[in-house]
């Protein structure tokens, strides 16, 4: 039972964290119900640099969320594939190093998402004054 639970949790847990972050971002954006007065028809109009900055922030958020989504399966591949005999799996120094790497990458991605969301919100506030 435990041998099937570990791979399953390492795949599902990061995805659930990513989904939770996406819902928090959506909630944060829906909380501020204003719409942009600018349209896509403007090509070098006012706020062009700000729009590009918003776009770069969105791309960075997507990149970090992808990292969160894929880090669990990568951990399982690095840890379990060399030990295909599931009855002899042990949790030693190598596994601890992989786990620390996993937690570090997850923390980095979550930090990146929160920083980029804050930066994006600042850009949106500057773009759409009260």
pLDDT for res 39: 47
| Residue 59 is assigned to a structural domain of this protein | yes
Stretch 1-8: mean pLDDT: 67
- Tell me what percent of the residues of the chain surpass a pLDDT of 70: 78
Contact 109, 71 (CB under 8 A): yes
8 within a domain of the structure (yes/no): yes
The answer to whether residue 34 is domain-embedded is no
Q: What pTM value is reported for the model? A: 0.46
Would residue 33 count as lying in a domain? Answer: no
What's the number of domains the chain is made of? Answer: 1
The SS3 call for residue 1 is coil
**Structure confidence at residue 124 (pLDDT):** 78
- pLDDT tens sequence across 84-110: 776 776 778 888 888 898 889 888 888
pLDDT in tens, 57-72: 888 888 888 888 888 8
In this structure, is residue 30 part of a structural domain? no
**Mean pLDDT, residues 78-83 taken together:** 72
Q: Domain for residue 70, yes or no? A: yes
Domain range holding 77?
2-25+48-127
The verdict on residue 31 lying in a domain is: no
Q: What angle do CA 121, 126, 129 make, to 5 degrees?
A: 110
Query: Using an 8 Å Cβ cutoff, are 18 and 71 in contact?
Result: no
What pLDDT is stored for residue 1 in this prediction?
Answer: 55
DSSP for 58-91, please give it: HHHHHHHHHHHHHHHHHHHHHHHGGG--GGG---
Average pLDDT of span 12-30: 79
Q: Check pLDDT > 80 for residue 128.
A: no
Check residues 55 and 42 and name the one with the higher pLDDT.
55
Considering the chain, what is the average pLDDT of its residues? 76
In a domain, 21, yes or no: yes
């Amino acid at each position: 039972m435990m041998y099937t639970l570990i791979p399953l949790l390492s795949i599902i847990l990061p995805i659930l964290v990513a989904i939770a972050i996406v819902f928090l971002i959506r909630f944060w954006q829906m909380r501020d119900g204003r719409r942009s007065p600018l349209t896509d028809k403007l090509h070098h109009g006012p706020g062009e640099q700000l729009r590009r900055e918003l776009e770069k922030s969105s791309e960075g958020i997507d990149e970090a969320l992808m990292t969160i989504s894929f880090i669990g399966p990568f951990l399982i591949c690095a840890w379990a594939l060399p030990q295909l005999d599931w009855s002899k799996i042990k949790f030693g120094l190598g596994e601890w190093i992989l786990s620390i790497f996993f937690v570090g990458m997850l923390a980095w991605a979550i930090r990146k998402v929160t920083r980029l969301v804050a930066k994006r919100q600042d850009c949106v506030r500057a773009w759409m004054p009260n």
